Amino acid sequence: AQKITQTQPGMFVQEKEAVTLDCTYDTSDPSYGLFWYKQPSSGEMIFLIYQGSYDQQNATEGRYSLNFQKARKSANLVISASQLGDSAMYFCAMRDRSGGGADGLTFGKGTHLIIQP
């Protein structure tokens, strides 16, 4: 089973609208961390937001928030008031120690977000 699933290969959104990017995960480790990264066409990986499995509140960072539904194993990224500069690939990732234990990240396949004027 895939550890991280992103079901939206691509999305088109009108500028200034809110965007929700879906991410579901699978782990048996009770202690895990969830991350979202942005990769613009220039190729760099930009850290957006982090949610720990024991965090009581949903993480927020400026226009980014993470809708964390632990029972559903869901960690959707919400971008409020989208901007043209938000056009990029977005990756959901997890650090856990199930299945052999690794202290690196497992990534989903990404969602290509295009903001239209």
> How far is the C-alpha of 31 from the C-alpha of 90, rounded, in Å?
24
Q: Which stretch binds other proteins (CB under 8 A): 10-18, 63-71, 74-82, 100-108?
A: 100-108
When asked if residue 78 is in the footprint of other proteins (CB under 8 A), the reply is no
When asked if residue 103 is in the footprint of other proteins (CB under 8 A), the reply is yes
What is the number of other CB atoms lying within 10 angstroms of the CB of residue 77? 27
Residue number, 76 or 106, with CB nearest to other proteins = 106
Give the contact letters, 13-42, x = binds to other proteins (CB under 8 A), - = no.
--------------------x-x-x-----
CB-based burial label for 41 (10 Å; 0-12, 13-18, 19+): exposed
